Structure 1
Amino acid sequence: MINHPHHHPSTAPPLRSHFSLGPLDHDPTAQLIARVRLSDILAYDGVATSSYSKAVQRLSESLTRRNAAIIELNCEDAAVVRCGLEASRLFFRTRSRNGGGGSGVYVYRAGRALEDTDSSPPCMADVFKCMGKAARAALSAVARHLRLRSDVFNYLLDDNPLPANEASSSVLVATYSHAALQNGKGVITGGMLTSNVETEKGLLTLIAADAPGIQVCDPNGQWYLADDGSSPGDLLLLSGRSLSHATAGLRPVTSYRAATDSTLIANSGGRTSLAFRLMPQSNAILDCSPVSAAGHVIPQSYVPISVSQFMDDLSAEENVPCHRTDNANVASNNLNKEPSLRSILSDPLSGAFLEDAMFVSCGHSFGGMMLRKVIEISKCALCNADIDSGSLIPNHALRAAATAVKYEDDKRLFHNSTLRKRRKEVGNHRENGDVAADYGVQRVIQYPFAVNEKVVIKGNRRTPDKFVGKEAIITSQCLNGWYLLKIIESGENVRLQYRSLRKPIISQSSEDRCPSQPVQNSG
Structure 2
Amino acid sequence: MAGTGLPSLGRVKLADLVPSDGLPSDSYKISVSILSQSLAQFSAVIVQFPTTDGALLRSGLESARLYFHQRETYPPSDIIHHTSESHDWCKTSGYYANPHLWQETYDYRPGLTSSELNNSIELPPAGLSDIFTLFGKAARDILDAISYHLNLRSSPFVEILDNAPLRNQEISSSVLSVCCHGRPSFQGPQQHHNIPATQEDGQLLMYPDNDHQVDKSLISLVKSDRAGLHVRDYQGRWILVDGDLGPQEAIVFPGLALYQATAGYVNPALHRTEINMEANMYGRCSLGFKLLPKSMTSLDCSEMRAAGYGVEAQFQLPVPVDDFMQRSHPTDHLFNRPAFQCFNFQPTHDGMYSILRLRFC
TM-score, length of structure 1 as denominator length = 0.52
Distance 1:378 1:121, change over 3 A: closer
* 1:76-126 Cα distance to aligned partner (Å, 9 max, x none): 222212111111111111124798999621111012134555431111111
Number of residue equivalences: 302
Tell me by how many angstroms 1:268 deviates.
8.2
In structure 2, C-alpha distance between the alignment counterparts of 1:26 and 1:151, rounded to whole Å: 33
- Determine if the alignment matches structure 1 residue 273 to structure 2 residue 277: no
Tell me by how many angstroms 1:195 deviates.
3.7
- Determine if the alignment matches structure 1 residue 214 to structure 2 residue 229: yes
1:152 matched residue in structure 2: 156
Q: Find the residue that maps to 1:202 and give its secondary structure.
A: coil
- Tell me if structure 2 keeps the 8 A contact 1:109–1:168: yes
1:44 matched residue in structure 2: 20
Q: Find the residue that maps to 1:301 and give its secondary structure.
A: helix
Q: Which amino acid aligns with 2:250?
A: L
In structure 2, C-alpha distance between the alignment counterparts of 1:215 and 1:61, rounded to whole Å: 18
The 5-angstrom pairing of residues 196-211 of structure 1 reads: 196-211=211-226
2:64 matched residue in structure 1: 88
Which residue, 142, 148, 152 being the options, matches 2:146?
A: 142
In structure 2, C-alpha distance between the alignment counterparts of 1:269 and 1:298, rounded to whole Å: 47
Which residue, 283, 303, 310 being the options, matches 2:296?
A: 283
Q: Which amino acid aligns with 2:177?
A: V
- Determine if the alignment matches structure 1 residue 311 to structure 2 residue 321: no
Which residue, 170, 173, 196 being the options, matches 2:174?
A: 170
In structure 1, C-alpha distance between the alignment counterparts of 2:263 and 2:75, rounded to whole Å: 47
In structure 2, C-alpha distance between the alignment counterparts of 1:74 and 1:239, rounded to whole Å: 22
2:48 matched residue in structure 1: 72
**Unpaired segments of 5 or more residues in structure 2?**
77-96, 187-191, 198-207, 344-356
2:314 matched residue in structure 1: 301
- Tell me if structure 1 keeps the 8 A contact 2:114–2:122: no
In structure 2, C-alpha distance between the alignment counterparts of 1:281 and 1:206, rounded to whole Å: 18
Tell me by how many angstroms 1:45 deviates.
2.8
Q: Find the residue that maps to 1:198 and give its secondary structure.
A: coil
In structure 1, C-alpha distance between the alignment counterparts of 2:39 and 2:165, rounded to whole Å: 28
Distance 1:162 1:132, change over 3 A: same
Query: Is the strand fraction higher in 1 or 2?
Result: 2
Q: Which amino acid aligns with 2:178?
A: A
Moved more, 208-217 or 107-116: 107-116
In structure 2, C-alpha distance between the alignment counterparts of 1:47 and 1:26, rounded to whole Å: 31
Q: Which amino acid aligns with 1:148?
A: L
In structure 2, C-alpha distance between the alignment counterparts of 1:295 and 1:85, rounded to whole Å: 44
Tell me by how many angstroms 1:235 deviates.
1.4
Distance 1:230 1:268, change over 3 A: farther
* 1:397-435 Cα distance to aligned partner (Å, 9 max, x none): xxxxxxxxxxxxxxxxxxxxxxxxxxxxxxxxxxxxxxx
Once the two structures are aligned, what percentage of the paired residues are identical? 32
Q: Which amino acid aligns with 2:174?
A: S
Q: Which amino acid aligns with 1:69?
A: V
- Tell me if structure 2 keeps the 8 A contact 1:141–1:150: no
Tell me by how many angstroms 1:31 deviates.
6.3
TM-score, length of structure 2 as denominator length = 0.74
2:305 matched residue in structure 1: 292
1:386 matched residue in structure 2: none
In structure 2, C-alpha distance between the alignment counterparts of 1:177 and 1:130, rounded to whole Å: 23
In structure 1, C-alpha distance between the alignment counterparts of 2:103 and 2:156, rounded to whole Å: 39
Cα RMSD between the aligned structures? 3.3
Larger radius of gyration: 1
Q: Which amino acid aligns with 1:306?
A: P
Tell me by how many angstroms 1:48 deviates.
1.4
The 5-angstrom pairing of residues 101-500 of structure 1 reads: 104-115=104-115, 118-178=122-182, 183=193, 184=195, 194-259=209-274, 262=276, 266=279, 270-303=283-316, 304-314=318-328, 348-349=337-338, 370=340, 377-378=358-359, 381=361
In structure 1, C-alpha distance between the alignment counterparts of 2:272 and 2:73, rounded to whole Å: 29
Q: Find the residue that maps to 1:125 and give its secondary structure.
A: helix
Tell me by how many angstroms 1:232 deviates.
4.2
In structure 1, C-alpha distance between the alignment counterparts of 2:73 and 2:212, rounded to whole Å: 32
In structure 2, C-alpha distance between the alignment counterparts of 1:373 and 1:121, rounded to whole Å: 42
Which residue, 42, 47, 61 being the options, matches 2:37?
A: 61
Tell me by how many angstroms 1:46 deviates.
3.1
Query: Is the helix fraction higher in 1 or 2?
Result: 1
